[in-house]
Chains A and B, each alone.
Chain A
Amino acid sequence: MSENVTLEILRYRPELDSEPHFQTYSIPYRDDWVVLDGLNYIKDCVDATLAYRWSCHMAICGSCGMMINGEAKLACHAFLRDYRDGVIRIEPLDHFPIERDLVIVMDSFIDKLSSVKPYVIAKREKSLSDGENLQTPLQLMAFKQYTLCINCLLCYAACPQCGLNESFVGPAALALAHRYNLDSRDNGKEQRADVVASNDGIWECTFVGACSEVCPKHVDPAAAIQQTKISASLDWFKARLLPGARR
């Protein structure tokens, strides 16, 4: 089969272009190829100037997120055979500044991620002789799903609130905060609340649910945020109705 597939890719080279523009490429169709294979073919054989991030080619490193026909997907997770009809339009992830071609600036996300203190904040200082933290399988199950995030940013691209407010902490960061808040070894919920329960935190979310729909690892950040809304609301009322009951 010597079929070809047409890729329309948004190019942007700041030293040459004043604005992004589409460039069309024709690549061979292979039944087992993903979009990333197509990009690698272009880079190797057609146009070495094309810039994009990728690494594992197996949906675990989170590097190759991009908009494929308007949907946030991992390029290694999008098979050419599912796009046989028509042209495949490839653009960098929505809601992030474009650095070059398909590479976005993700500094804002890194800041948001660190701001939620994504590490176990211990209940009390322990010495080595106190031994390790014990955790039952049931306790692990409570937060396991929220540990699976690969920071691919598809959720930020899909979330309309991320598009409308660039200060919104965002699905992945809030899901990670939830992961630690649910961890039995952690006592940091109060410390995280200044960011998590701020107006740019959980309260910017309107439960569109797009984040969970596009997540390649089924983390379900939407669920994490709604659960945090309930918990933060109850904490808010508890703090005011029972002043002595701060944890």
Chain B
Amino acid sequence: MARSNKPILWLPFAAGGLVAALIIPVLILITGLLLPLGVVHLPYEKMAAFAHNPLGKLILFGTVALPAWHAAHRLRMTAHDLGFGGGVAVKATCYGSAWVLIAITAAALIMV
């Protein structure tokens, strides 16, 4: 038995789980309920200003990338539980999607 390299997948998964737990619900509340109801407005000027700020970029990146990674790893394990095996196809789909999402997020934050 060899020591596994799983920690490189698992620590970001655990961090993503915590970030998702603490921040995602309030974000969905804002974009999914308060915005449609007109309680908040999220004007472009304010959002762009936040995204121009380096700290803002970091926060936005962490808020999207870490929970996305968490979801990718967890769905990979769940696919195994559901009988889809632990093969290359499952891993490529799950982590591949996460990397694409993370890359696009990073690109958007660089260009904003």
Contacts and interface: CB of A to CB of B under 8 A. Distances in A.
A/B contact in complex, CB under 8 angstroms: yes
Interface of A: 115, 160, 164, 193-195, 197-201, 203, 206, 229-230, 232-233, 236-237
Given A203-B10, A206-B78, A237-B7, 8 more contacts: A115-B1, A194-B1, A194-B3, A195-B1, A198-B1, A203-B4, A203-B6, A236-B7
Dominant secondary structure at the A interface:
helix
Contacts, number: 41
15 contacts: A164-B80, A164-B81, A195-B1, A197-B3, A199-B2, A201-B1, A201-B4, A203-B10, A206-B77, A233-B10, A233-B14, A236-B3, A236-B5, A236-B8, A237-B11
Interface of B: 1-8, 10-11, 14, 77-78, 80-81
A230 B6 CA distance: 11
A198 B5 CA distance: 8
Contacts of B14: 230, 233
- Chain B at the A interface: SS class: helix
B81 A206 contact: yes
B7 to A, nearest CB: 4
Nearest to A193: B3
Contacts of B6: 199, 203
A198 B4 CA distance: 5
A232 B81 contact: no
Contacts of A164: 80-81
Contacts of B1: 115, 194-195, 198-201
A242 to B, nearest CB: 15
A198 B81 CA distance: 19
A41 B77 CA distance: 45
The 7 closest A-B pairs by CB, nearest first: A233-B7, A236-B7, A198-B1, A203-B6, A199-B4, A197-B3, A203-B4
A236 B1 CA distance: 16
A115 to B, nearest CB: 8
Contacts of A229: 10
Given A164-B80, A206-B81, A233 B4 contact: no
Residue with the greatest number of chain B CB neighbours at <10 A, chosen from A193, A201, A236, A237: A236
Contacts of B80: 164
B2 A198 contact: yes
A158 to B, nearest CB: 15
Nearest to B5: A236
Contacts of A230: 14
A206 B14 CA distance: 12
Contacts of B11: 233, 237
B86 to A, nearest CB: 9
A194 B7 contact: no
A194 B81 contact: no
Nearest to A230: B14
Contact of B3 (A115, A198, A206): A198
A203 B6 CA distance: 7
A174 to B, nearest CB: 13
Contacts of B77: 206
A197 B10 contact: no
Contacts of B8: 236
A143 to B, nearest CB: 23
A179 B81 CA distance: 28
A205 to B, nearest CB: 10
